[in-house]
Amino acid sequence: MSDVMLEVRNLKKYFKTLRGTVHAVDDVSFTVERGKTLGIVGESGCGKSTVGRCLLRLLEPTSGEIYFEGIDICGAKGSELKKLRKDMQMIFQDPYSSLNPRKTIRDIIAAPLLENKIIPNATKKDIDTRVLELMETVGLAERLFNSYPHELDGGRRQRVGIARALAVQPKFIECDEPVSALDVSIQAQILNLLKKLQRDRGLTFIFITHNLSVVHYFSDDIIVMYLGQIVEKAPARELFENPMHPYTKALLSAILVPEIGNRKQRIRLAGEVTSPIDPPDRCRFEKRCHYACELCNQGTPQLIEVSPNHFVACHCVQKNSNTIAAGG
């Protein structure tokens, strides 16, 4: 039925520090279907970027398996990895640090073409032509061909980053906060561009962000992460209409709605964030949770399907839905 492009199984990434082991990503599993977009949301430091970097092997996972079109990424080496990277690209968060300040726009976009020999026996002119095509695709003016990154504004720089990612004609693009460093008006332009590219080229996206409105606009499925774990996983519409995990509820209530007289009640999270260093085997959100109950210290909650395609990792929600299911 579904055509799975990327599958992640029990991904873990621990960082050893002097004070203990940081569980940056702790047992995360998910799949992404071809042509779809998966949004990963969560607060700063919840491990969403770490997941993304593991997917592209920019970080070595501590354990777990990642399959891209059935090939194990973690086991790939050398030329195999290079072939995989041709299909998987990344758009970075900060367009001010993702472009080498010493290279011209032409050189930046040409680098992936040359490195992967996208055009066989390419002359300089072939490359130039291809670079200009790519620049046109992402809406960059031709006159910027020989410019340096510092001469461009944030939106244009991000377009350069997108052109660079597109250069190898990937099937899968991971966007790590692609618009968080941009002005709101430019955010919309970049998002529309990405959406158009997805439509035209059938790209599969992973969209990592802390901006819920963006993810709502963009994603088919959404994963909510908290301290290295997935707390809720559901189709976008379902998640926004019927959030179940207390953390997701709090996140959604924080979205600002531009409406006069809007008196929406915000759920304010109090309490301290559990340290990701050697966390105890219990619910990691308990200390900030409004619905904390006696079950919360009974082991780490597992991600369980409470309604079709809607997964939640919360003891209380699972208990309630069980009672409902048992009662009904």
Name the residue among 165, 154, 94, 134 with its Cα closest to residue 145. 134
74 sits near other proteins (criterion: CB under 8 A): no
122 sits near other proteins (criterion: CB under 8 A): no
Q: Residue 139: phi, psi to the nearest 5?
A: 80, 40
Q: Residue 160: phi, psi to the nearest 5?
A: -60, -45
268 sits near other proteins (criterion: CB under 8 A): no
By beta-carbon proximity to other proteins, the closer residue of 23 and 85 is 85
- The one segment of 8-16, 126-134, 222-230, 243-251 that binds other proteins by CB under 8 A: 126-134
Of the candidate residues 10, 63, 146, 192, the single one contacting other proteins (CB under 8 A): 146
Of the candidate residues 3, 72, 133, 183, the single one contacting other proteins (CB under 8 A): 133
- H-helix or E-strand spanning residue 310: strand 310-312
The full DSSP string for 73-108 is STT--HHHHHHHHHHEEEE-S-TTTSS-TTS-HHHH
Residue 239, classed as helix, strand or coil, is helix
| Neighbouring residues of 62: CB distance < 8 A, sequence distance ≥ 6 | 12, 13, 14
Name the residue among 92, 66, 63 with its Cα closest to residue 81. 66
By beta-carbon proximity to other proteins, the closer residue of 128 and 220 is 128
User: Least distance to other proteins from the beta carbon of 210, Å?
Assistant: 17
100 sits near other proteins (criterion: CB under 8 A): yes
- The one segment of 7-15, 63-71, 94-102, 200-208 that binds other proteins by CB under 8 A: 94-102
| Neighbouring residues of 69: CB distance < 8 A, sequence distance ≥ 6 | 5, 6, 87, 171
Strand partners, 68: 6, 71
Residue 232, classed as helix, strand or coil, is strand
- The one segment of 163-171, 271-279, 286-294, 314-322 that binds other proteins by CB under 8 A: 163-171
Of the candidate residues 123, 143, 184, 281, the single one contacting other proteins (CB under 8 A): 143
171 sits near other proteins (criterion: CB under 8 A): no
Do 182 and 215 contact (CB within 8 A), yes or no?
Answer: no
147 sits near other proteins (criterion: CB under 8 A): yes
- The one segment of 10-18, 39-47, 52-60, 303-311 that binds other proteins by CB under 8 A: 52-60
180 sits near other proteins (criterion: CB under 8 A): no
**Which residues contact other proteins (rule: CB under 8 A)?**
53, 56, 58, 81-82, 85-86, 88-90, 92-94, 97-102, 111-112, 115-116, 125, 128-129, 132-133, 142-143, 145-148, 151, 161, 164-165, 168
